[in-house]
Every structure is written in structure tokens, then in C-alpha cells.
């Protein structure tokens, strides 16, 4: 709809004519340039930008009016009364206006480019600005507005701009009057740029980044470019080009020592050679300080000397092959939405460094410019991504029978001439702003937009602007046959490891490979990190990967009675369409509490790994650090333990060259050990840093140094009595009485003295509350692993003087299909307890059996557990790098991992024993091989039934699951199928459990 025709001539509303015009991207804005904030002469330009006398931060409460439709906007909306206020920066959906929407792939609007719905929601912001004429220009800067903004000053139209995550700068000087002025910004929820901003996130609107006014001299530095060139014998050259005016500059090292002084003339390149230059890397982020004097302004720029190249198919930084141990990160906070403050960004990055992450992909748009300064200082490699995604095209292009095997339809806009300039513009917004940041090593064309002539032109724009970095893009599905050879690296998402190996075998492909997304960290996961790590290190052409993703996205729905936030996700906001909890796919919860998946990342990304040496007391320490000597940053101690606890402790001196190895001797490890014994090396921070405190545990490695002797369950001499009726068998051994119900084919009671140990019959267990990665869960429900009926084919009792044996033949199934499992079980009761041996044969209709074991509902008094296995956090066959084998104890109430969408959690892998205690009574579980267990206050049925954690209701019993095996968790929610080695063996399982009951 042509809004101008609905408005009075020359009214403010009549100027709103650009948001459906793909050629009208920026009206009245200043040219794009590198990011900087000038300071007044005499100020320290390296202090916080808010201290600059040339910067006036306009954040705070602005007057606000919200309209459900642009049609309802008054002609002269500027002079309407603004009774409400809203914080700037923020998103208006967080303050009761409009509603959030979570959609991953599909567009939130009908696909009719460049048009958007007539009823576009609009937020109008207004505030006063006081101006005193001083001969300087006033430049108003919006660092981020979703989706576009029409700007007015004192009722006059100043300009228009789109590209949500790019800065829009307006010279408002001609519109200002002495004293009080009125700034009005009309923000539209949608514009033609919305078709290029279809990122996987909760959709929010408004002015979401800082707004400020810069006071600038008439003749001023408009732009500058810094380039570093590494030379021979440790030298480097700084190339500096100024635009707008002549400048003088001084380069100092981190200690303030002047390294060089020079002048740079407008439009000309100055070159300065530095001998023995200290280089920048993520491990050693050394920064020089360049002070730029331009007329009466001073600008501070931090310089990192480094280069990025591809040599023989290998990505190298400063001449060394690197691996990106990365993560994808969105701007997403439950309290501030898209707004990321300095404190929030730094906290994110510090938490990443604490967990050994060295790289960030800014999915899928440029972050705040301050974010990159923090990455420079803390040390991160950054894939800087253009604000571009048109993923929804793939749903538009095909009919409803599309089977996802052909993904070329995603490239509709990549081949659409109408969007060529807009796509190129987004590249310019990206590169021109961040060109001076040493942390940026790849420019990314965007995300999931397909490939075509427009993307090729975008890549050409980037290469023309900057020849010092590599160009990256993953979504090369193409409709027009355009070659992607301009890309410097090949990128993939969620490739399985076999596909990665196959890539190396392509003779025509010589480029490096990066997984820009892998190990989808949704819910209980990811479970395949270690396998990918090993794949990355199998060949130098693999330069690493970026886990999807950093944080769970949520808008809170309120609080529980206990004051806990009720996190909402797709569908909780009353949206027209949504993608459920697929936004809950991070390594941290919305409040940045780490998932156990982040602990797994920390261990897999660890900087030092330990393997056994040639002798019993020798160990090989290998470093994955590429620039730092591990001994310069880490201390090492060791603990030798068995099931009884710590046997010995000590310190180890380490000196490991980058990517090197060294042998370490620990004589105590070679001693005689009767028990199964382990040595754990613990690496801690040697000194305080911005992200580590001295003594902080950076990583560990544990190795078994003795198997010990096989534990033998000694049978206590006891007399067993047994009674049998047509429906029941009762067996007494001392003061322990077992009652077996033939109809249920299960023990329905176990008593010691007058104390009952079972609230419900002891069950076999085949089901788990599906994790987000259990995409095959519908098959589990179809065969009724969760609510089966038991059929008994017969029960036999054999009694001896010191034991009773019950043999049962049975099956498990439901209506419609044949039984999914047939089993023969033998229960032996004697002085050593209850011994269970079962042979289970499964139907081939089961797709990946989630678990097999026994389940007990025990009275609440049985609340304490002790186990010897992988702990202290949850562990699975494929997710246990963050855990180690030891003796652990816990209260069952503390063992729940509170995933926002409830699911299987808190299993413990590789256990040798488990003891559940209640007062003076304990029940000990063992097996003929290491087993998994879970102890919870919630049933698996409850976890499976509830959509949110705040809806969970505790069971009246404590639920103990002892598993012959639990399947791995993988990352199949958006990744490859769980590897066979992490699945349960089918069709036949032979399991053996032993239960001992006694008094303390």
C-alpha cells in the first residue's frame, strides 16, 4: 500500500515511502565507515566511549506510541501526545506492545517481495535534545533498529535507513535550532529488508542498540583503514590510510612505549615498519595503541599485528595452522531482548574463555561494534557475518510434497535482480564498519540464503574492500549455476564425519573446510563433540567448527510462586505460526547458567591432552595451543584415586611448546594397586587474567593405571524359605522378604524388617523421556515402549537350602503390533541379595532403543545416593568428557538437570556400583559390567508429558533407574543420526543386575 496517498501532502506520514523500495536503502544517511568514537583533544581516547566529550548518549526513557498498523498512524504523528515511555535501547514486545514470534525457517509475513503487509505495526519514539550552536556538526547515530527507521527532527523529515544490525548515521545539524529540539523516530516492524533478515531467532522490534549524538568538526576524519603486513625476521608493517583530512599518529606498545610517530595525508597510505613486532592471536591477543590526532579530535585505535592466509588448503594465522574451537552466538537476553550491553557481552565472552572457546561466529548479523573490541582484547577469532538470511525461500519455492532432498529453492533472492543492490549494501555495512578489527578473520556473506549472481557480487564487493581476510559462506545451493570458486573456504553445517572424510578425497577441491555449525546443542546434548574434535585434528585442511549455539532464546512469561522465571519459547506467545522450542538450543540457559553441554565443550576444547607413555610411570602431555607454551599459562597437579578416594597427590612441572608434546614421569603411578585405580591430571591457571583467576581449573585428563581385581560377590550363608500360591511367590532370606506377583511378572514388595523398599512393582524399563535430539521418539511411542502390557508365558520356582530361583518367560507389547520384546528372566535370591539375569530379544520395528534396565519406585526417605562411576554431572556414553570416574555422593533432590523443555537428564555412565540409602537401610546395585543409573524426583512419564520445566510435578516416590545401557544423546535435532557405537545392541541383550539390601 502506498502510504503517501493515505496521508496529507507534506505531512510526516507522507514521507514514509521507502520501506517497500529495494533501491531506497538509506536516505539522508552519511557514508559507511570504520567504527570509532572521537574524543576531545587532551582526552584519553582509550577510555570508555561514554566518557568522550564529543559523545552524548541518548539512551534512556523515550516517549512512545505504538500502532498495530501504519494505516492508523496520524498524518502528523509527531505532534501527538506521548503519554507512555519505553527504554531505549530495548524491544517493544518486552514491554507489552505486540507479541514476540519465534520462527526458524519460515517468513513471519506472506512472501510477496518487496511488499510487506499493509498493517505494519509501528513504534514511534520521541525525545528532546538540547542544542547550543558551537560550530560543530551533530551526527545522530542509531547502532541498531529493527527493521527500519524514518527520522524526523523538529517535524522535518531527515532520512530513512534499513539493515537492522548496521549503524545508521544522520547529520542533523541543519534541522536543529538553539535550545530545545524534538527527535522523532518511526520504526516499522517490517520492510522490504525483512526478506533478507529471516534469521532463526525470536522476532522482536524496536531501537535495540545504543543511540547517541557525536559532535564533529566541519573538517574531520571521516574514515581510516588499518592494515598489518608481516615481514621477515619478526618485523611488521603498519599501513594506515586516512580519509577526510590529514592526521598525525603515534603508535605505542602495551606498556605505553612509543614505537613510531607518523603523519598520514588525506587519501594517501602511510607505512610504518616495526621491528620485533609482537603478534596478535586468540591465545596471545597483544594489542598496540594507535593515537590519531585529527584537528581538534583524538581517536584511539587498538592494533593487532596478524595475517590470515590459506596455504596448501590450510588456514593459517601468522603462518601457523589454526583450529577454530568455536561457537555461534546470537544477541539474545531474557530481560533485554536484542540489546547487549557492554557488561552482558563481556560476561558472555569471559564465560566462553573459561570454557576454552577461541572463536565466535556472529550468527547471523554483525554484532555491536563494541563486541569486536572485546574480542580483540580477550582473544577470539571471529567469523563476522553480514545481516543476511532468506531461509524462508526454501518453503516458498517448493510445493507441499517437497521432501527436502533438493534445497536449491533457498536461492530465490540470491538470483533476484531486485535485491542485488540490497545484498551488496549489506556487505558494505559489514566490512566498512569492522575492517580494522584484528579479531575478524573471515567475512561471511550471510547465512542460509542460497547462492547466485547476487551473492557472487557481494563476495566481489568484500574482496574489493578488503584483501586481508578470507571470504566464507555455507549456503551454496544454487538456481542459476553461479560458481562459488570466489569463496576462500568450503563451509558445512551438521556434516557427519564420514562426509568430512569424503571431502578430502575430492581431487578437484583444494580449499580448507570449516563446520560453521555443528553439534546442535539443544537440550541434553551435544553428544558427539569428541568425535568431531578427533576429525578436526585428523587433517590440517579441517580448520575446526562452531557449535550451534551459545544461548537458549527466551522471552519470560512471568514468575512461579517461588520467584523463578517461567521461560517461554515458540507457541507461548500466541503467534500465528512458530517453531516451538527449537530456539532452546544453546550451551547456556537464557540467564547464562551453563548447560552440562558447555562443560562438555570445555573439556573437548581443552588445551592439553594426556595419554599413556611407554612405561607405567610415564605420560605424554600434548598441547593444542598454537602460539603459547602451555607451561607459561598452566600449572598441573595430579590425584591418584580408587573407589576409596584419593591415594596420592602431587605437582608436575610442564613445558610444552605450541602444538608440541612432552613426556612426564609420575613414579607414584607405577606402584602396586589392588583396586581399580586412576590418575587425574588437573590443569589450572598460572596467573590471574581477565577471564581466569589464578588456580581456576582449565581442564583435566584422567587415565586408568590399574584394573584391580574383579570384585566377587560373596554369598553370605543363610537359609532361604519360599512359599508359592497360584498368583504369588514369597521368599524370605533372614529379615528380608521378597514377594513376586505372577500376574504382573514382577516383584511387588521387598521388605527388610518392617520397612518396605518398593512403592510400586519393580519394572523393566525401555523408555526415556525423549531428549530434543531423540527425533525418532515417535517410533518409541508407536511400539509403546512407554506404556507396555506384560504377558507371562510361565513362571517356575526352584528352592534350595540357601537360595530360591524364579524363572519367568514373558513379553512386552501393546495393541495392534506383535510384542516389541520377548524375555526370559531368572531371579536368584540368596544370602548375597537378589540376582537378576535376563535375556531380551527385540523387534526390528524399534528404531534405536533408548535404554534397557530396571526401574524402582522407592520411598522418599531413600534420598541419598553414592556411586562409583562418571560424575559429578550427568554423563552418557557419548557425553562424558566433562566427567571423570570417581566416588560421588548426592541428594536425589539435587541431581535433576532443569532443561526448559523437560527431558531425559542426569544419567550417570560407567558405574561400578550404586548405593541408595534411607536412614540405616541401604540398597546396593551392581552388574556384571559397568552400567548407567538415574535417580530422580520426577518420573520419565512426567518429564515426557510436560512442555516446560515450571509445570513439572514431583513423584511421591524417588525413582531409581538402573540401566544395562542408555543410548547416547547425540545431536540429531539438527545433525546426523546417532552413531551406531552409541546405540544399544539389538536384537539380543543379555543383562545381569545384582541388588544387595542391608543395614548401615
**Distance from the Cα of residue 753 to its chain's centroid:** 51
* Same-domain pairing of 111 and 94: yes
Helix (H), strand (E) at residue 777 = helix 777-783
Among 166, 187, 216, give the residue marking a domain's end: 216
Cα–Cα dist 509/485, whole Å? 10
Beta strands in 497-538 (DSSP E): 513-518
pLDDT in tens, 465-514: 999 999 999 999 999 999 999 999 999 999 999 999 999 999 999 999 99
Q: How many Cα atoms within 13 Å fall on the side-chain side of residue 284?
A: 17
- What does the block give as the cell for 861? 526417605
One-character DSSP codes across 861-910: T--EEEEEEEESS--BTTB-TT-EEEEEEEEGGG-----SS--S---EEE
pLDDT over 70 at 69, yes or no: yes
C-alpha cell at 911: 558405574
Rg of the chain (C-alpha set): 32
Mean pLDDT of 960-971: 97
Which residues are CB-contacts of 510 (< 8 A; sequence separation ≥ 6)?
A: 313
At residue 605, the pLDDT reads 98
The single residue of 385, 517, 600, 626 carrying the catalytic annotation is: 517
> Cβ of 498: how many Cβ atoms within 10 Å?
11
Q: Based on the domain organization, do 96 and 193 belong to the same domain?
A: yes
Nearest to 882 by CA among 707, 698, 706, 704: 698
User: In whole angstroms, what is the distance from residue 105 CA to residue 402 CA?
Assistant: 15
Cell of 110: 506472506
Counting the structural domains of the chain, the total is 5
d(CA 529, CA 532): 5
Residues 830 and 945 occupy one common structural domain: yes
CATH code for position 532 = 3.20.20.80
Determine, yes or no, domain membership for 686: yes
Are residue 966 and residue 819 in the same domain, yes or no? yes
Give 882-893 pLDDT, tens digit per residue: 999 999 999 999
Q: Could you tell me the pLDDT band of residue 968, with boundaries at 50, 70 and 90?
A: very high
The domain that contains 159 carries what CATH number?
Answer: 2.60.120.260
Element of type H or E holding 465 = helix 453-465
Determine the structural domain holding residue 241 and report its residue range.
Answer: 223-295
- Asked if the structure places residue 42 within a domain, the reply is yes
- For residue 230, the domain's CATH number is 2.60.40.10
Omega of the bond prior to 116 within 30 degrees of 0, cis?
Answer: no
Sign of the Cα pseudo-torsion (374, 376, 382, 386, in order): positive
Cα–Cα distance between 220 and 597 in angstroms, integer?
A: 49
Instruction: Give residue 60's pLDDT band: very low, low, confident or very high (50, 70, 90).
Output: very high
Residue 799 lies in a domain: yes
Judgement on whether residues 172 and 231 belong to the same structural domain of the protein = no
- Per DSSP, the chain holds a count of helices (H) and strands (E) of 11, 62
Distances (CA, A) of 831 to 37, 714, 717, 749, 995: 80, 8, 6, 18, 11
> Are residue 167 and residue 79 in the same domain, yes or no?
yes
Is the pLDDT assigned to residue 3 strictly greater than 90? Answer: no
The answer to whether residue 711 scores a pLDDT higher than 90 is: no
Q: Is the pLDDT of residue 432 over 90?
A: yes
Q: What is the mean pLDDT of residues 686-703?
A: 97
**Contact criterion met (CB below 8 Å) for 155 and 379:** no
Query: Are residues 411 and 493 part of one domain?
Result: yes
CATH number for the domain that contains residue 984: 2.70.98.10
| Long-range CB contact pairs, 820-824, < 8 A, 24+ | 820/766, 820/783, 820/784, 820/785, 820/788, 820/845, 820/846, 821/766, 823/764
Tens digits of residue pLDDT in 267-294? 999 999 999 999 999 999 999 999 999 9
Percent of the chain with pLDDT over 90: 95
Q: What residues contact residue 983 under an 8 Å CB cut-off, 6+ apart?
A: 848, 849, 967, 968
Q: Which of these three, 184, 216, 248, is where a domain ends?
A: 216
Tell me which of 20, 143, 302, 448 is the catalytic residue: 448
Same domain, 287 and 345: no
Order the strands of the 55-57 sheet from edge to edge.
Answer: 55-57, 211-216, 137-142, 168-171
> 630-634, long-range: CB within 8 Å, 24+ apart, which pairs?
630/654, 630/655, 630/656, 630/683, 631/655, 631/656, 632/686, 633/685, 633/686, 633/687, 634/607, 634/608, 634/683, 634/684, 634/685, 634/686, 634/698
Q: How high does pLDDT run on average in the chain?
A: 96
pLDDT band at 309 (very low <50, low <70, confident <90, very high): very high
Tell me if 575 is assigned to some domain: no
Residue 937 or 816, more confident? 937
The confidence score (pLDDT) of residue 805 equals 97
d(CA 590, CA 573): 17
Same domain, yes or no, for 896 and 922? yes
At 854, list the grid cell.
530396571
Answer whether 241's CB lies under 8 Å from 224's CB. yes
pLDDT tens sequence across 616-665: 999 999 999 999 999 999 999 999 999 999 999 999 999 999 999 999 99
Segment 145-163, tens digit of pLDDT: 999 999 999 999 999 999 9
The pLDDT of residue 671 is above 90: no
Question: What are the backbone dihedrals phi and psi of residue 596, each rounded to the nearest 5 degrees, phi first?
Answer: -65, -20
Looking at residue 709, what DSSP letter applies?
P
Q: Is the pLDDT of residue 717 over 80?
A: no
Please give the share of the chain, as a percent, with pLDDT higher than 70.
99
Task: Give the Cα separation of 621 and 339 in Å (integer).
Answer: 43
SS percent in the chain: helix, strand, coil, step 5: 15, 40, 45
**Strands, sheet with 223-230, edge to edge from the N-terminal-most edge strand:** 223-230, 236-243, 269-274
pLDDT reported for residue 714? 62
Mean pLDDT across 169-190: 98
Confidence of residue 402 (pLDDT cuts 50, 70, 90): confident
Q: How many residues are present in the chain?
A: 1000
Query: For residue 708, what pLDDT is reported?
Result: 83
Can you give the pTM of this predicted structure? 0.96
Residue among 836, 833, 868, 865 nearest 852 (CA): 836
pLDDT of residue 715: 62
Instruction: Dihedral sign for Cα 459, 464, 466, 469, please.
Output: positive
Tell me if 906 is assigned to some domain.
yes
Residue 579 inside a domain? The answer is: no
Same-domain status, 128 and 245? no
Confidence of residue 433 (pLDDT cuts 50, 70, 90): very high
190-248 pLDDT per residue, tens: 999 999 999 999 999 999 999 999 999 999 999 999 999 999 999 999 999 999 999 99
Q: Is the pLDDT of residue 709 over 70?
A: no
* CA–centroid distance for 730 within its chain: 54
Query: How confident is the model at residue 200, as a pLDDT?
Result: 97
Q: Which of 216, 247, 282 is the last residue of a domain?
A: 216
- Answer yes or no: are the C-beta atoms of 280 and 306 closer than 8 Å: yes
How would residue 400 be classed by pLDDT, with cut points 50, 70 and 90? confident
The verdict on residue 559 lying in a domain is: no
Under DSSP, the state recorded for 667 is G
Same domain, 209 and 233: no
Tell me 392's DSSP state. Answer: T
Sign of CA dihedral 682, 683, 687, 693: negative
448 is catalytic: yes
- 836 plus 976 within the same structural domain: yes
- Residues 598-615, mean pLDDT to the nearest whole number: 97
Separation between Cα atoms, residue 946 and residue 962, nearest integer Å? 23
Amino acid at each position: 500500500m502506498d502510504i503517501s496517498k493515505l496521508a496529507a501532502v507534506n505531512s510526516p506520514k507522507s514521507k514514509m515511502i521507502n520501506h517497500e523500495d529495494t533501491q531506497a536503502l538509506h536516505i539522508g544517511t552519511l557514508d559507511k565507515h570504520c567504527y570509532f568514537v572521537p574524543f576531545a583533544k587532551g582526552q584519553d581516547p582509550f577510555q570508555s566511549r561514554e566518557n568522550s566529550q564529543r559523545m552524548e548518549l541518548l539512551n534512556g526513557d523515550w516517549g512512545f506510541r505504538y500502532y498495530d498498523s501504519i494505516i492508523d498512524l496520524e498524518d502528523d504523528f509527531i505532534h501527538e501526545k506521548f503519554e507512555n515511555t519505553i527504554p531505549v535501547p530495548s524491544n517493544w514486545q518486552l514491554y507489552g506492545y505486540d507479541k514476540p514470534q519465534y520462527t526458524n525457517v519460515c517468513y513471519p509475513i506472506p512472501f510477496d517481495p518487496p511488499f510487506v503487509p499493509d498493517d505494519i505495526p509501528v513504534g514511534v519514539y520521541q525525545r528532546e535534545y538540547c542544542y547550543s550552536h558551537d560550530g560543530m556538526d551533530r551526527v545522530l547515530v542509531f547502532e541498531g533498529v529493527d527493521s527500519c527507521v524514518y527520522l524526523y527532527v523538529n517535524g522535518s523529515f531527515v532520512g530513512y535507513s534499513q539493515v537492522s544490525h548496521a549503524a545508521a548515521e544522520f547529520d542533523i545539524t541543519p534541522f536543529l535550532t538553539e535550545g530545545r529540539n524534538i527527535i522523532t523516530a518511526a520504526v516499522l516492524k517490517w520492510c522490504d529488508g525483512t526478506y533478507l533478515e529471516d534469521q532463526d531467532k525470536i522476532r522482536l522490534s524496536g531501537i535495540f542498540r545504543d543511540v547517541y549524538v557525536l559532535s564533529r568538526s566541519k573538517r574531520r576524519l571521516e574514515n581510516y583503514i588499518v592494515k598489518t603486513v608481516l615481514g621477515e625476521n619478526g618485523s611488521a608493517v603498519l599501513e594506515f590510510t586516512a580519509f577526510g583530512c590529514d592526521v598525525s599518529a603515534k603508535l605505542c606498545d602495551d606498556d605505553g612505549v612509543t614505537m613510531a610517530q607518523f603523519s598520514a595525508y588525506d587519501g594517501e597510505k602511510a607505512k610504518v615498519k616495526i621491528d620485533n613486532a609482537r603478534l596478535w592471536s586468540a591465545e596471545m591477543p597483544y594489542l598496540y595503541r594507535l593515537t590519531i590526532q585529527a584537528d581538534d579530535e583524538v581517536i584511539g585505535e587498538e592494533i593487532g599485528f596478524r595475517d590470515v592466509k590459506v596455504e596448501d588448503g590450510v588456514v593459517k594465522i601468522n603462518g601457523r595452522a589454526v583450529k577454530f574451537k568455536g561457537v555461534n552466538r546470537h544477541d539474545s537476553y531474557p530481560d533485554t531482548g536484542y540489546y547487549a550491553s557492554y557488561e552482558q557481552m563481556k560476561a558472555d565472552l569471559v564465560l566462553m574463555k573459561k570454557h576454552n572457546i577461541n572463536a565466535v561466529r556472529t550468527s547471523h548479523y554483525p554484532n555491536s561494534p563494541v563486541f569486536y573490541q572485546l574480542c580483540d582484547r580477550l582473544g577470539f577469532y571471529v567469523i563476522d557475518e553480514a545481516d543476511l538470511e532468506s531461509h524462508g525461500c526454501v518453503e516458498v519455492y517448493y510445493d507441499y510434497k517437497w521432501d527436502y532432498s533438493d534445497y536449491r529453492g533457498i536461492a530465490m533472492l540470491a538470483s533476484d535482480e531486485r535485491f542485488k543492490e540490497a545484498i551488496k549494501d549489506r556487505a558494505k555495512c559489514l566490512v566498512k564498519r569492522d575492517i580494522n578489527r584484528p579479531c575478524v578473520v573471515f567475512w561471511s556473506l550471510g547465512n542460509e540464503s542460497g547462492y547466485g549472481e547476487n551473492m557472487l557480487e557481494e563476495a566481489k564487493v568484500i574482496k574489493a574492500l578488503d584483501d586481508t581476510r578470507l571470504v566464507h559462506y555455507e549456503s551454496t545451493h544454487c538456481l542459476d549455476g553461479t560458481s562459488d570458486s570466489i569463496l576462500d573456504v568450503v563451509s558445512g553445517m551438521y556434516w557427519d564425519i564420514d562426509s568430512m572424510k569424503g571431502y578430502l578425497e575430492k581431487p578437484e577441491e583444494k580449499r580448507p573446510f570449516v563446520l560453521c555449525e555443528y553439534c546442535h546443542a539443544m537440550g541434553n546434548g551435544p553428544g558427539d563433540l569428541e568425535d568431531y574434535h578427533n576429525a578436526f585434528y585428523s587433517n590440517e585442511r579441517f580448520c575446526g567448527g562452531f557449535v550451534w549455539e551459545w544461548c537458549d532464546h527466551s522471552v519470560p512469561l512471568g514468575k512461579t510462586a517461588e520467584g523463578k522465571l517461567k521461560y517461554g519459547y515458540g507457541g507461548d506467545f500466541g503467534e500465528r505460526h512458530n517453531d516451538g522450542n527449537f530456539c532452546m538450543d544453546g550451551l547456556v540457559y537464557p540467564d547464562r547458567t551453563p548447560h552440562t553441554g558447555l562443560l562438555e565443550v570445555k573439556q573437548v576444547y581443552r588445551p592439553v591432552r594426556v595419554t599413556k607413555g611407554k612405561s607405567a610411570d610415564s605420560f605424554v602431555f600434548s598441547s593444542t595451543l598454537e602460539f603459547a607454551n602451555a607451561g607459561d599459562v598452566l600449572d598441573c597437579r595430579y590425584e591418584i584415586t580408587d573407589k576409596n578416594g584419593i591415594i596420592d597427590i602431587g605437582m608436575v612441572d610442564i613445558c610444552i611448546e605450541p602444538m608440541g608434546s612432552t613426556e612426564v614421569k609420575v613414579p607414584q603411578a607405577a606402584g602396586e594397586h589392588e583396586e581399580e585405580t586412576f590418575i587425574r591430571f588437573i590443569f589450572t591457571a598460572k596467573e590471574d587474567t581477565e577471564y581466569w583467576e589464578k588456580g581456576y581449573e582449565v581442564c583435566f585428563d584422567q587415565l586408568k593405571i590399574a584394573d584391580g581385581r574383579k570384585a566377587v560377590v560373596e554369598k553370605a550363608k543363610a537359609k532361604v524359605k519360599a512359599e508359592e500360591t497360584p498368583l504369588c511367590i514369597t521368599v524370605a532370606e533372614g529379615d528380608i522378604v521378597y514377594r513376586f506377583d505372577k500376574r504382573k511378572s514382577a516383584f511387588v514388595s521387598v521388605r527388610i524388617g518392617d520397612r518396605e523398599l518398593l512403592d510400586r512393582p519393580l519394572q523393566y524399563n525401555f523408555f526415556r523421556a525423549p531428549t530434543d535430539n531423540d527425533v525418532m521418539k515417535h517410533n518409541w511411542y508407536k511400539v509403546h515402549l512407554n506404556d507396555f502390557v506384560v504377558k507371562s508365558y510361565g513362571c517356575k520356582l526352584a528352592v534350595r537350602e540357601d537360595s530360591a530361583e524364579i524363572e519367568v518367560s514373558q513379553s512386552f507389547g501393546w495393541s495392534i503390533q506383535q510384542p516389541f520384546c520377548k524375555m526370559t528372566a531368572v531371579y536368584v535370591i540368596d544370602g548375597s541379595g537378589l540376582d537378576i539375569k535376563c535375556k531380551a530379544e527385540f523387534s526390528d520395528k524399534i528404531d534405536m532403543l533408548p535404554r534397557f534396565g530396571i526401574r524402582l519406585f522407592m520411598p522418599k526417605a531413600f534420598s541419598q545416593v553414592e556411586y562409583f562411576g562418571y560424575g559429578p554431572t550427568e554423563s552418557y556414553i557419548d557425553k562424558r568428557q566433562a566427567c571423570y570416574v570417581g566416588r560421588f555422593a548426592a541428594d536425589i533432590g539435587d541431581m535433576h538437570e532443569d532443561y526448559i523443555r523437560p527431558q531425559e537428564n542426569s544419567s550417570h555412565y560407567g558405574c561400578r556400583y550404586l548405593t541408595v540409602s534411607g536412614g540405616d537401610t541401604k540398597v546396593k546395585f551392581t552388574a556384571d559390567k559397568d552400567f548407567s543409573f538415574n535417580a530422580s524426583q520426577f518420573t520419565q512419564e512426567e518429564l515426557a508429558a510436560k512442555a516446560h520445566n515450571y509445570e513439572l510435578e514431583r513423584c511421591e516416590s524417588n525413582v531409581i533407574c538402573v540401566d544395562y545401557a542408555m543410548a547416547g544423546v547425540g545431536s540429531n535435532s539438527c545433525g546426523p543420526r546417532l552413531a551406531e557405537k552409541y546405540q544399544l545392541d539389538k536384537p539380543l541383550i543379555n543383562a545381569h543386575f545384582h541388588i544387595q539390601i542391608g543395614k548401615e
